[in-house]
Amino acid sequence: MRNNEMAVSYVRALARGRVHAGYGWAAVCSDGELLCETCVRSNYRLVLRATLKPCAASYEWQIVGLTNSGESETSAHCAHCHKIIWETA
Ligand SMILES: [Zn+2]
């Protein structure tokens, strides 16, 4: 599987809630910023297109992976809506 297709499968999993419950989840953008599940869902087409065919105009919507609160030692906020996705325990 190409990297882009892998990333799209991450986006789909997140948007459908098919991720491990009990953690806070976020999509990791190509610029290292995080997007919350809500923003991924509400901008789903934009995110999918930017992830499949990366281009400068939609750079900030390109997803490169997922991360969760179990992998992070710092709190995380969404780069789009600025809500706190998870806070450090
Ligand atoms: Zn958000």
What does the pLDDT average to over 70-87?
95
CA of 34 to the centre of ligand 1 (A): 8
pLDDT confidence bin for 57, thresholds 50/70/90: confident
CA of 2 to the centre of ligand 1 (A): 27
Task: Kindly provide the b/e burial profile for residues 36-61, where b requires at least 16 CB atoms within 10 angstroms of the residue's own CB.
Answer: bbebbeebeeebbbbbeebeeebeeb
Asked whether the whole model's pTM tops 0.75, one would answer yes
CA of 29 to the centre of ligand 1 (A): 12
